[in-house]
């Protein structure tokens, strides 16, 4: 090999190491172009996918609105349940307002996350880990050990249960981080359970008495969700000099029953609605709630886990906090027996949560290919 070639290879691996440190780190040196590592093939770029054009991308979609206060009122609940069913069938997404979580809990979560990402790289890097089972993981892109093209996103993933065991692993800086995350995790878990009760009712399923099952012999779905898994993902998307060449997150569906997403006032989330990518209009302080793969299976395909992705922009950074809720990791997920009959045959195989997590850590989880692999052909 000529000396020049050696230099090029060494430079390339040095760049590779830099990219592993994330986009926040990359943007700390002023850059005016997106490095090749982040440039998507033309047909996957945001401006081109599904025949979309720039004007369409600027149009903001108002998601179906679900008023949590109406769900709690016996007078308004039946109508709110019908809206909930329609939203989950037709969009896989809805916007939840009047959710009852104190403003202070919400604003502190955004604020503490902003301060976490604002810390020097060395402080954030303490939580970097390639171990998918680690209770806290700081990282970049979607699956940074597998992605060929990187996404314009850094993240902090925090396992929220069992809280007494995991809390001592959470970031200790900023100093209020653990307190803020603990209170946000408890509030979102409670809200998740209340929304799930409404979802069961909207599916026509009986709300099981504690300890009595409506799906499996081993206890009720609500009991199992109560003891279930909760993962908090804080996403940070710095401004990007060439936002049309890359994405903050590639098209994906979420694995759990529901994701509760808090986004700041900067638009970026897009959902696939019909054949079009549409940008969701942010309503600060409210939650975007979406159906995950496990609820699609549980509802035997009636409620849809819909593909979504994230755009970045050239002027503002954006923060979002997603909490993903499901059953305990050792449980398997199957369609509710009440939703299977001659007219509605079982559409999915039982799915073991642990093998699902192994699957997403072993490959690039593009599109809904895991869910597709669980479908029974009819
Ligand atoms: C996610 C996600 C969307 C966003 O974390 O799974 O889809 O707007 N986030 O950050
Ligand atoms: Ni998602």
pLDDT tens-digit readout, 78-88: 999 999 999 99
**pLDDT-above-90 percentage for the chain:** 74
Determine the residue of 306, 322, 324, 365 to mutate for testing ligand 1's pocket, defined as the one with the most ligand atoms within 8 A of the Cβ atom: 322
Question: Of 320, 242, 306, which is closest to residue 276 (Cα–Cα)?
Answer: 306
What mean pLDDT, rounded, does the chain reach?
A: 89
Return the pLDDT at 243: 95
Which of the pair, 23 or 368, is modelled with greater confidence? 23
Q: How confident is the model at residue 53 (pLDDT cuts 50, 70, 90)?
A: low
CA separation for the pair 272, 276 (Å, rounded):
6
Return the pLDDT at 146: 86
Judge whether 177 and 118 are in contact, CB under 8 Å: no
Q: What digits encode the pLDDT tens for the residues 179-215? A: 999 999 999 999 999 999 999 999 999 876 654 444 4
- Confidence check: pLDDT of 131 > 90: no
Determine the residue of 261, 267, 290, 365 to mutate for testing ligand 1's pocket, defined as the one with the most ligand atoms within 8 A of the Cβ atom: 261
CA separation for the pair 169, 224 (Å, rounded):
25
Return the pLDDT at 208: 62
CB atoms within 10 A of CB 340: 14
Atom of ligand 1 nearest to the CA of 248: 10
Is 3 strand, coil or helix? Answer: helix
Question: Of 151, 153, 106, which is closest to residue 263 (Cα–Cα)?
Answer: 106
Determine the residue of 143, 236, 269 to mutate for testing ligand 1's pocket, defined as the one with the most ligand atoms within 8 A of the Cβ atom: 269
Q: How confident is the model at residue 378 (pLDDT cuts 50, 70, 90)?
A: low
- Confidence check: pLDDT of 11 > 90: no
Q: Ligand 1: which residue has its CA nearest to atom 10?
A: 320
- Confidence check: pLDDT of 54 > 80: no
Average pLDDT over residues 278-293: 95
- Rg of the chain, C-alpha, whole Å: 21
- Confidence check: pLDDT of 280 > 80: yes
Return the pLDDT at 364: 53
Q: Ligand 1: which residue has its CA nearest to atom 9?
A: 322
Q: How confident is the model at residue 50 (pLDDT cuts 50, 70, 90)?
A: very low
Return the pLDDT at 81: 98
Return the pLDDT at 132: 80
Q: How confident is the model at residue 245 (pLDDT cuts 50, 70, 90)?
A: very high
Return the pLDDT at 222: 93
Return the pLDDT at 16: 85
Atom of ligand 1 nearest to the CA of 269: 8
Q: What digits encode the pLDDT tens for the residues 86-112? A: 999 999 999 999 999 999 999 999 999
- Name the one residue in this structure whose structure tokens are 């290919």: 369
How far, in Å, from the CA of 87 to the mean position of ligand 2?
17
- Confidence check: pLDDT of 165 > 80: yes
- Confidence check: pLDDT of 17 > 50: yes
Atom of ligand 1 nearest to the CA of 280: 8
How far, in Å, from the CA of 309 to the mean position of ligand 2?
7
Atom of ligand 1 nearest to the CA of 324: 6
Average pLDDT over residues 67-83: 97
Beta strand 276-280 with 249-252 is unpaired
CB atoms within 10 A of CB 27: 16
Determine the residue of 137, 310, 312 to mutate for testing ligand 1's pocket, defined as the one with the most ligand atoms within 8 A of the Cβ atom: 310
Q: How confident is the model at residue 373 (pLDDT cuts 50, 70, 90)?
A: confident
- Confidence check: pLDDT of 71 > 50: yes
Helix axes 77-90, 177-202, angle to 10 degrees: 100
- Confidence check: pLDDT of 328 > 50: yes
Atom of ligand 1 nearest to the CA of 318: 10
Return the pLDDT at 85: 98
How far, in Å, from the CA of 95 to the mean position of ligand 2?
15
Q: Ligand 1: which residue has its CA nearest to atom 2?
A: 322
Pocket of ligand 1 (CB under 6 A): 233, 235, 249, 254, 261, 263, 268-269, 308, 310, 320, 322
Average pLDDT over residues 212-238: 80
Q: What digits encode the pLDDT tens for the residues 132-155? A: 889 999 999 998 888 999 999 999
């Amino acid at each position: 090999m000529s000396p020049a070639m050696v230099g090029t290879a060494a430079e390339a691996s040095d760049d590779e190491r830099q990219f592993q440190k994330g986009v926040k780190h990359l943007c700390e040196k002023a850059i005016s172009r997106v490095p090749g590592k982040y440039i998507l093939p033309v047909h996957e770029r945001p401006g081109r996918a599904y025949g979309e054009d720039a004007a369409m991308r600027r149009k903001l979609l108002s998601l179906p609105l679900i008023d949590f206060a109406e769900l709690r009122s016996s007078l308004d609940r039946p109508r709110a349940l019908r809206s909930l069913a329609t939203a989950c069938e037709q969009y896989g997404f809805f916007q939840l307002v009047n959710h009852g979580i104190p403003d202070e809990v919400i604003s502190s979560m955004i604020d503490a996350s902003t301060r976490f990402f604002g810390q020097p790289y060395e402080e954030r890097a303490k939580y970097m880990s390639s171990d998918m089972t680690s209770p806290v993981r700081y990282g970049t892109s979607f699956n940074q050990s597998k992605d060929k093209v990187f996404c314009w996103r850094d993240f902090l993933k925090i396992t929220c249960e069992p809280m007494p065991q995991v809390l001592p692993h959470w970031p200790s800086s900023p100093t209020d981080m653990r307190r803020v995350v603990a209170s946000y995790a408890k509030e979102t878990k409670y809200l998740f359970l209340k929304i799930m009760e409404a979802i069961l009712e909207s599916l026509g399923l009986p709300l099981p008495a504690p300890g009595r099952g409506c799906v499996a012999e081993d206890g009720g779905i609500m009991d199992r969700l109560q003891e279930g898994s909760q993962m908090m993902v804080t996403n940070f998307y710095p401004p990007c000099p060439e936002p049309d060449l890359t994405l903050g997150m590639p098209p994906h569906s979420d694995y759990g029953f529901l994701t509760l997403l808090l986004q700041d006032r900067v638009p970026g989330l897009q959902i696939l609605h019909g054949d079009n990518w549409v940008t969701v209009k942010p309503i600060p302080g409210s939650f975007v709630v979406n159906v995950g793969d496990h609820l699609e299976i549980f509802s035997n395909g009636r409620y849809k886990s819909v593909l979504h992705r994230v755009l970045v922009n050239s002027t503002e950074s954006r923060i979002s906090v997603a909490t993903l809720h499901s059953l305990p990791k050792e449980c398997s997920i199957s369609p509710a027996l009440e939703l299977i009959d001659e007219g509605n045959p079982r559409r999915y195989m039982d799915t073991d949560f642990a093998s699902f997590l192994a699957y997403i850590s072993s490959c690039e989880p593009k599109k809904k290919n895991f869910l597709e692999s669980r479908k029974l052909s009819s």
